[in-house]
Structure 1
């Protein structure tokens, strides 16, 4: 691996420190060169020699940077994406990519005109629990699927301090926070739905944005996929429930990468991305005699390093990036729908 991609981070909050920095330094194909820090200068403590710029304009003016990671508040993604592309950078943008499909189309077209690449950071495709679900579906052990549920629940009754998530502005609310994860997982596994129906709710006291959503995705051959999220769940239910003609599979959300990264465990350390014992998925199959068998299915180790490898291969070897533009546009059409 001879080509090294010089990379800059637009911000150094939790996402820069946890979801990007460790993987950029673990992957030999990237150099974490610079970051924007307007106030506190913390990046140097974690990444020796990194340049800390006072403004995004200074970051984009750095001619050595080839790839910019846009990990800023949701409503800023559209404008910052355009600025970075016009500065001659490739971009990796956190979810939600933009607030609307029209904004996304504009960015994709701008990138094509400028000869630059656009990537969307849908890291939950590389969660251990979801990759296990994916392997079960691809194995066809369950037979024809009829009903699938993906959930991402929390209990947070109080209004959060991040105003861009809690105020009625572009790309705010729970559906734009966790919806991109769940809808992307469904689309990546089952393709684009024929139709959908969405319900939003506001249940926390004084909330200005949705804190509940349920989206029914309708697929051919009577496959019904439901994605849900609720901020007032005290007893967290299994996050993945799949029912088919030959059986069912149930799996709780068990990926440990975020938890490990918060503890300072690095992606290249032993034990990274390995689920705890007791978190196995439950596979129940039924045969032609109505006999049921039950098995526990452990997950394989997972790492978001695979996402960065996909970005690298796309930039260096023109390999297709797993998250396609069409998938992102369909996701945004669902999220922006009234």
Structure 2
């Protein structure tokens, strides 16, 4: 495919809510070799915003209309509500188009496996937007593990905790269970994926999945403890009701510990409309740099800059046939297997 690749791959983006407008559209547009050509949204305000922010984009109201002209696209990105990911991904593959699907890949492991099989049978690219693999804190910890400064890690504590005491009226808080709402599918998909990337396959898992806020139908305060085959234990917290958050990472090894506070700045910058190509993109504030060592001998570790734009650069190169996909969809199926096992073990069905 390398010799015949177009100058820019034409991208159709399904969904222009938070994921589509704040993450995918700006990152696609900032990637040389990718062109945001079409956006699907049935919301008039979002359609106006897409047309205003991306002057050359075509806005259509339905995915069916977008996929009815597959010869006008080279890639489809699915950034719709979780419950539609599998069906829209399958429809794009059936139209002969490579696909990026926002996490979670699907609502069940079986749906995820069917997508992987369909892409393989058609010889089409399929990958999953696990952007948190390019978080500053994750990249910093990954570097420390490669350098073996922590030694053998026996426990990794990892958190995405927020203070949002009032539930929204949107699907994340109000959709039925079979539509994959809630914080476990949302932030848990990232935390589980990161833990597996850092410490390897899962041997067993324990979970606590709770609804704390009145007026929400889905979990908003959850915890998973993973025992990896390596022996490391990952303790993962995700919450919308944490008035004070704990450390982003607290990693304990037999040589040293690493403690990191604060969140990667890229999400806040994207939400604020800052361009991913600006100088200093992804740089963590010095006040949030982590501490490595022991209580009597601590060293401040500069954070590795976060690089969300790298995801779509790798997508482009995969389309050109010169690189693998940035995220193996089989990894996303594994995450769904952990979530499904946690929900079944705790009796969460609605």
Counterpart pick for 2:89 among 45, 70, 81: 81
Q: Which of 305, 308, 315 does residue 311 from structure 1 map onto? A: 315
Question: Structure 2, unaligned stretches of length 5 or more?
Answer: 345-350
> What is the aligned counterpart of 2:210 among 194, 201, 208?
201
Scaled by the length of structure 2, what TM-score is found? 0.91
Matched, 1:98 2:98: no
| Equivalent residue pairs, number | 333
Structure 2 residue 127 is matched with structure 1 residue 119? yes
Length-normalised TM-score, structure 1: 0.94
Counterpart secondary structure, 2:167: coil
Q: What's the CA shift for 1:324? A: 1.9
Which piece of structure 1 moves more, 68-77 or 215-224? 215-224
Give the CA deviation at 1:318. 4.7
Q: 1:259-292, CA deviations, whole angstroms, 9 ceiling, x for partnerless residues? A: 1122221111112211122111011148xxxxx4
Give the alignment's Cα RMSD to 1 decimal. Answer: 1.6
Deviation at 1:160, TM superposition (A): 1.3
**Matching of residue 211 in structure 1 with residue 258 in structure 2:** no
- Please tell me whether the aligned partners of residues 151 and 240 of structure 1 are also in contact (alpha carbons under 8 angstroms): yes
Q: Which residue is 2:64 aligned to? A: 57
1:67–1:91 contact (8 Å) kept in structure 2: yes
| Residue 192 (1) aligns with residue 201 (2) | yes
Asked whether 1:44 is paired with 2:24, we answer no
Match of 2:282 in 1: 273
Q: Distance in 2 between matches of 1:72 and 1:10?
A: 6
Runs of 4+ in 1 over 4 A off after TM superposition: none
The unaligned stretches of length 5 or more in structure 1 are 287-291
Aligned with residue 157 of structure 2, among 149, 152, 155:
149
Alignment of 1:1-338 (within 5 A): 3-40=7-44, 41=47, 42-62=49-69, 63-170=71-178, 171-285=180-294, 292-337=296-341, 338=344
SS of 2:286's equivalent in the other structure is coil
1:35·1:50 contact (CA, 8 Å) conserved in 2?
Answer: yes
User: What SS does the corresponding residue of 2:142 show, helix, strand or coil?
Assistant: helix
